Amino acid sequence: MKTGPAGLIAALLLAVATAGCSGSAPNVCPAIAWFNTLTVSLDGSVEKVSLVEFCAEGVCSVRADGPVRAPEASVTTGAVTAPATTLAVTPAPSRSVPTPSVPGYSPFTAARVDGRTWQVSLMMRSPKTVTIRAYSADGSVLAQRDVEPGWTRVGGSEACGGPETAGPVRLVI
């Protein structure tokens, strides 16, 4: 049987119109991103701990417990002077001291919750094995532990995934 261009077009339109019709409802995933969390519980001389670090997949966490809000702006009142009509341009001096490097990106952050508890946030990841370290203010390692967190999904669905939680992981200082 010979099919002309009209038959081919009709077959393509039928294929497009029925694409995705398998008899079951399509799987719709509303969550497009989430964070998994792991709790670290410190025991022992916790007053020595300056930082808790989480490492997995060849990457370690960055600290996330900086200022909670932006600094307040201050406004002063006073006389307004007219801008100068000439502009003096002075060349910038050459740098003799290298600029400190900015910490790299990490999908993991660690934040102090209280004196004994730290919370790690992981961007849509749940690694099977992780390393937890506690550091003193001078950078020395106070304690280290390799663990398999045992993630439990707390939202989303099996088909779409969703946030998971693990812990607490106990770290003795």
Report which secondary-structure segment, H or E, holds 118: strand 117-123
Quote the pTM value. 0.62
Q: What is the pLDDT of residues 77-133, one digit of tens each?
A: 555 555 455 544 445 444 433 333 345 678 999 999 999 999 999 999 999 999 999
In this structure, is residue 14 part of a structural domain?
Answer: no
Question: What is the DSSP-derived secondary structure letter of residue 91?
Answer: P
Q: What is the pLDDT of residues 5-14, one digit of tens each?
A: 666 565 555 5
Whether the predicted pLDDT of 74 surpasses 90: no
In this structure, is residue 75 part of a structural domain?
Answer: no
In this structure, is residue 26 part of a structural domain?
Answer: no
In this structure, is residue 111 part of a structural domain?
Answer: yes
In this structure, is residue 97 part of a structural domain?
Answer: no
Range of the domain at 149: 32-64+105-173
In this structure, is residue 17 part of a structural domain?
Answer: no
pLDDT at 71: 40
In this structure, is residue 95 part of a structural domain?
Answer: no
Q: Which two tokens stand for residue 31?
A: 């969550």
Pairwise CA distance, residues 36 & 169, whole Å: 14
In this structure, is residue 133 part of a structural domain?
Answer: yes
| C-alpha closest to that of 35 among 159, 118, 124, 120 | 124
Q: How many domains does the chain have?
A: 1
Query: Residue 145: which CATH number?
Result: 2.60.40
Residue percentage of the chain with pLDDT more than 90: 50
Would you say 132 and 169 are in contact if contact means Cβ atoms under 8 Å apart?
Answer: yes
Whether the predicted pLDDT of 46 surpasses 80: yes
Of residues 145 and 65, which shows the higher confidence score? 145
Whether the predicted pLDDT of 149 surpasses 80: yes
pLDDT at 131: 97
